[in-house]
Amino acid sequence: MDAFTSLTGIAAPLPLANIDTDKIIPARFLKTIKRSGLGVHLFDTLRFRPDGSENPDFVLNREPYRHAEILIAGENFGCGSSREHAPWALLDFGIRCVIAPSFADIFHTNCFKNGILPIALPADICALLMADARLGGNARLSVDLERQVILRPNGESVPFEIDPFRRHLLLHGLDDIGQTMQHAQHIEAFEQRRRTAEPWFPSIVIG
């Protein structure tokens, strides 16, 4: 998993509440277990018309938002089923940070496990950032996870709170497997001792 320390990029305004995971990535695209290739289907029912052509009114189909790395959304983002494909699709499109008044719990957790920073801020602050995002490519936002601040185009700093442990994992690019591999030497030492004491017992191979 790629580490997240700081990010300066285009923010796309998506002023919709209760965007569920099926809206983020429709169920018909969940046939893969790969994390890549899902970005083309992100917000499929919003981005594309029934004939497959782009919907020119949808924000991610317009410049400069085709290159957005930050998404400003409405409350309860990521509600619905607990599909990990939702953060996979966001990440594959290029979104590394989602800012909203609130998130569904499972989606919120899945973001951290996949290198996406979800930031919950009061609705009035999100409205200000939404207005900033509507200014386009000349009004980029900067998100600094180390300092836990968002820098607006006017220079104002907006602080945000993140669970310290999850912040540590993002800063160091550690998903669940990465956390386990930090203890690889201890696991291997334990396995060596067990192979000697209990040679009939199956061993775990690390690496």
**pLDDT on residue 189:** 58
Sign, CA torsion 60/65/68/73: negative
Which residues of the chain, if any, have pLDDT below 70? 176-195, 197-198, 200-207
**Residue the block writes with tokens 């969940």:** 30
Give the whole-angstrom CA distance, residue 93 versus residue 69: 8
**pLDDT on residue 34:** 73
Give the whole-angstrom CA distance, residue 56 versus residue 77: 23
Q: Tens digits of per-residue pLDDT, 84-120?
A: 999 999 999 999 999 999 999 999 999 999 999 999 9
DSSP per residue, 111-176: HHHTT-EEEE--HHHHHHHHHHHTTGGGS-EEEETTTTEEE-TTS-EEE----HHHHHHHHTT--H
**pLDDT on residue 178:** 56
Written as six digits, the tokens of 150 are: 């968002």
**pLDDT on residue 153:** 95
DSSP per residue, 7-66: EEE-EEEE--S--BHHHHS-GGGTT---SSS-GGGTTHHHHB-TTS-B-TTSGGGSTTGG
**pLDDT on residue 75:** 98
pTM of the full structure: 0.86
